[in-house]
Amino acid sequence: MSSAPPAQVPIPKRGVDYRNKVVLAPMVRSGELPTRLLALKYGADLVWGPETIDQALIGTTRRINPHNGSAEFSRLPSNGSRKPTSEQKESIIYRLHPERERGRLIFQMGTSNPARAVQAAKLVAADVAGIDVNAGCPKPFSTLGGMGAALLETPDKLCAILSALVEQVGTPYEIGISVKIRILKEAERTERLVRQLCATGIIGLTVHCRTTPMRPRERAIRDQLRMIAGVCRESGVACIMNGDVESREHALALMTEFGVDGAMLATSAESNPSCFRLSKDGGLAPWRQLVDEYLHIALGVDNKWANAKFMLINFIPGKDPVHIQIHKSKCYTTACRYLGLADLHERALEVDERLGLGEHALADVRDAELSAAGIARDLEDVASRFDSLSVRQGNDIPADSSHLSASQGILMGA
């Protein structure tokens, strides 16, 4: 008699099952709205937004951008002061698209306190399919505050955070709560931690197959992965693997090999989000196509230019001349000119104006006009010299251009 399949933690009505999914990892800068939308276009099943600290989100106001329909959570920056001045411009802390990301966006939070985690999560819960707690970031800005990988050393606190989110956010808002961890040096400690986490009511657990001291350049360690997947399966919790997953094909192969439920792509998606597309469906898109599509999306959601510039530099090969040109660009208008995207010129001007980059955009237009005028003058000068030389030497104008002067022929490409 065959044994019954293991029970699964029920997926909330508005939540999403992480099983059989290849997903975009939470990445600071690289995980903003345009990248997420591009990843979804190329087949990502789910997308994690960049880690957002609970205290940064608390106090924000949700507004719909009238130009593109995105939801923006913004607040006045404190700049270290408890009383920001009214003259300050609000900063957008988080941006999502309620329609285009519906049912596929997971909000990742940096937190070290159950009450703050709940307060922050409630602000975005109605717009996302799940809340994920970051318990794996090794960077000092996170660990020094008791967040990220520091939570791996305080499992009771981490479990308290997850339990509070399940009870006070997951249940009332009908979305899933999950956690992302790193492996511990000793497999026994990792197993004990995973069992504790799975008992909190979470629906999913992502494991980054590196220890806290390890950096991305060091190869992922998968020795503990089958054990972690087994513990999650016993508890009915979906297990997603992360670390050196290069493409959808690679993800599917690793899922089969290690018995995990899903896989998360990070570095490969940062350089080319089309890595979610199967080879038989076209595989990786060439960088020029990727850049064109990305800019259409970025302009369509008024994405910050600094973030767009960062992503373009990631996409464009370092040896290509336009890579250096984008480095020098100060606005969308300039970038579109360097990339030869004339169809985006007017939209780039409009977005630059809204983003407060109008001065740079207008300067670029003036420079382009002056450059074009200079080229025209140079051509006219060359043509005039050719005319004079032709007259002196008695050369005939070619038969197919006999109705034109020599200078006209040169300027028109004859």
Catalytic residues: 137
Q: How far is CA 257 from CA 133, 218, 226, 244, 298, in A?
A: 27, 21, 9, 15, 37
Give the C-alpha separation, 352 to 299, whole Å.
9
Burial zone of 120 (CB within 10 Å; 0-12 exposed, 13-18 middle, 19+ buried): buried
Q: What is the DSSP string of 171-234?
A: HHHT-EEEEEEE--SSHHHHHHHHHHHHTTT-SEEEEESS-TT--TTSPP--TTHHHHHHHHHH
Residue 327: count of CB within 10 angstroms of its CB? 11
Q: Is 148 left (phi over 0), alpha (psi -120 to 50) or beta?
A: left
Q: How many CB atoms lie within 10 A of CB 172?
A: 10
Task: Name residue 303's beta-bridge partners.
Answer: none
For 356-359, the CB contacts below 8 A with 24+ separation are 357/305, 357/330, 357/331, 357/332, 357/333
